[in-house]
Structure 1
């Protein structure tokens, strides 16, 4: 017979579920913000809010014990969204790098020519 997985010692069932629910909600907000930033960049929106451009560092919650079973589907979907956004961000970074390289070549080409007088 297996023992049901429940809250860790010292934390009641409701507090344990609430802590995990809050942690998942926090990650969901971060993923949604990244999705919003990617959509705005793709649309060429130059009025991106500062908080999207300079997000605060994420601090992992100090949760002990396993994820409650009732959150497993939510966590799987969130993980999939997170992986997709990470891949799209990496692709966007490569595109930006390539565009910056191309722009730097064009800027160098636009410099005025320098002529020297030399008798033949």
Structure 2
């Protein structure tokens, strides 16, 4: 019995599928972490886990050959989740910038000395 061959000559099909499955699983973990961070921030949590605040650098997997057809639905769903999280992150950044600008204006006003008028009524 021969091992099914992947799309690249000399690469066993099982190794090819396992590599793609692991790569998709890594991306799923990253998307889940981003979703968790957004949920916690939205809920107003003050103390966030260290692993959410100091994410690891993403390293592109070195995959040989195209995505196996059996993973296409999984990859599409993952792409959709990734796009949704990216949009939510962009919205959160816009909100943070607006809040920082508003706080900056308040700080500028607070630094001005008060002005009093002495006027008889």
Classify the TM-score, shorter chain: 0.7 to 0.9
User: Secondary structure at the residue paired with 2:111?
Assistant: coil
- Aligned position for 1:18: 18
- Aligned position for 2:34: 34
1:43 Cα deviation from its structure 2 partner: 0.4
Runs of 4+ in structure 1 over 4 Å off: none
| Greater relative contact order, per chain length (Cα 8 Å cut-off, separation 6+) | 1
User: Secondary structure at the residue paired with 1:63?
Assistant: coil
CA contact (8 A) 2:6 2:12 kept: no
The normalised TM-score by structure 1 is: 0.87
1:72 matched to 2:72: yes
Please list every run of 5 or more consecutive structure 2 residues that lacks an aligned counterpart in the other structure.
116-121
The normalised TM-score by structure 2 is: 0.86
1:101 matched to 2:88: no
1:114 Cα deviation from its structure 2 partner: 6.7
